[in-house]
Amino acid sequence: MKTSVVIIGGGPSGLLLSQLLHLSGIETVVLERRSRAYVLSRIRAGVLERGTQDLLDRAEVGTRMHGEGQVHDGFNLSFGDSLHRIDLARLRDQSVMVYGQTEVTKDLYEARDRLGGSILHEVEDAAPYAMTTSNPFVIYRHNGQDHRLNCDFIIGCDGFHGVSRKSIPAAQRREFEREYPFGWLGVLSETKPAAEELIYAAHDDGFALCSMRNAQLSRYYIQCKADEDISTWSDDRFWSTLKSRLPRDIADEIVTGPSIEKSIAPLRSYVCETMRYGRLLLAGDAAHIVPPTGAKGLNLAASDVHYLSEALIAWYRDRRADLIDGYEARALARVWKCERFSWWMTSLLHRFPKSTPFETRMQRAELEYIVSSQAAQTSLAENYVGLPY
C-alpha cells in the first residue's frame, strides 16, 4: 500500500492536518490506536484562539463553531475575595471562542467522512521505519492483519505517550521537562456556568477555574495533590472546596449538581526540540505539553498543523523543501513563547507545596500589579488571545 502522508494519531491535530492536506489534493491515511467513540469521549480544552478559529475555517469545518461557540471578549482574575476583568477586546481588539475540543473533533470527523478520508481506528503496534530515507513506511496491525504502508512523510500526532517521538533515537532527542507538584481535579456538570466568562482564581488553599462548554454545561477545576485519590472526592466535597476558593458573591450563586465526568490531570511543561527526524515530523502533544492554565494545548497543536500544512503543500505543489527544512525552527519559536506563558500563569495562580512566605507575597504582588497596570494587562491579553503564527 502507498499514500503520500501517513498521520499517526487521530485526535484533532491529526484530523485537522488530514483535512487541510485533502483540500489541497494531498492523499493521507490516519492511523488511530483507539476507537472513534473513545476519541470523542475525551474531555479537553475549550478556549480557541483566533488563529485556531481561522485555521478551522480554512479547513471548512468552522460553521458549527461559529453557530454554537461562545465569543468571549474577556476573562476574570480572582484573588482576595475580589474579581478583576481582563478586557481582551479593549486591550487587543480580539476575542477568544469557547468551543470544546470534543466538538472540534466531531466537526473534523464529519468533514473527513464527507470527503471520503481514510481513517483507521483500533490500529495496533503502529511503528515508523526508514525515517531518514526518502522512502519511509509504517508497519501496523489492523483487524488481525499486518500491513505495511509506504509514504513520503510520516507525521506524529499521537500525543505524549505515542510511538512517534519514541521512534527517534534517544541520542537525537533534545528534551526539556518540568513536572508540577499538583494536578487539576476537573468536574463536568449539567449546570449553568458560574459567570458569563472564565474565572481564574488564586487562593491560599490553591487554584480554581470556572469554565463552561455551553449555557447549561459547566467545567470546573480545583488544584489538588498530584497523587490525589479521586475516590475520596465526592461531589459535595468538590463543590464545597470550589466555593471556598472563589469570591463570596460568586460562590453564593454557583448552581451545583451531579458530576457527569470527574478526573484528575497531572501538570507538566515539556518540549522535545527534535520535531523533525528525516521524513518523520512531530506535531502537538507528541512534541510538547503545556500546563492547561494558559489554555494553549489545542491552540499550540493547531499552530504546528498550520506550519506543517504550509510546508507539505509547498512540497507537493512546488517541490519546495525549504518549509519542510524550516518546520522545526518555525514551530519551536512559537512553542517556547507559549510554554513561557503557560508556565508563568501556572506559577502565578497556584500554591506550591514548598513556597516560602516571601514567594507567596510575590505572587500576590504580581496579581495586584496586573490589575493596576494597563501595560501588564495588555501583555497578558496579547498572550491569551494568541501570538501570531
Q: Which of 277, 292, 306, 307 is catalytic?
A: 292
Q: What is the 3-state secondary structure (H, E, C) of the chain?
A: CECCEEEECCCHHHHHHHHHHHHCCCCEEEECCCCHHHHHHCCCCCEECHHHHHHHHHCCCCHHHHHHCEEECEEEEEECCEEEEEEHHHHHCCCEEECCHHHHHHHHHHHHHHCCCEEECCCEEEEEECCCCCCCEEEEEECCEEEEEECCEEEECCCCCCHHHHCCCHHHCCEEEEEEEEEEEEEEECCCCCCCCCEEECCCCCCEEEEEEECCEEEEEEEEECCCCHHHCCHHHHHHHHHHCCCHHHHHHCCCCCEEEEEEEEEEEEEECCCEECCEEECHHHCEECCHHHCCHHHHHHHHHHHHHHHHHHHHHHCCCHHHHHHHHHHHHHHHHHHHHHHHHHHHHCCCCCCCHHHHHHHHHHHHHHHHCHHHHHHHHHHHHCCCC
Task: State the pairing for strand pair 145-150/137-142.
Answer: antiparallel
CA atoms in the 13 A half-sphere facing the CB of 130? 13
Q: Which of 99, 140, 180, 200 is catalytic?
A: 200
Q: Is 296 a catalytic residue?
A: yes
Q: Contact, 64 vs 107, CB < 8 A?
A: yes
Q: Which of 99, 140, 180, 384 is catalytic?
A: 384
Q: Any idea how long the chain is?
A: 389
Q: Which of 203, 296, 306, 350 is catalytic?
A: 296
Q: Is 72 a catalytic residue?
A: yes
Q: Which of 12, 22, 72, 128 is catalytic?
A: 72
**Cα–Cα distance list, 16 to 106, 319, 322 (Å):** 11, 22, 22
Q: Is 109 a catalytic residue?
A: no
What grid cell was written down for 206?
Answer: 490553591
Q: Is 292 a catalytic residue?
A: yes
Q: Contact, 384 vs 96, CB < 8 A?
A: yes
Give the residue numbers annotated as catalytic, written as ranges: 72, 200, 292, 296, 384
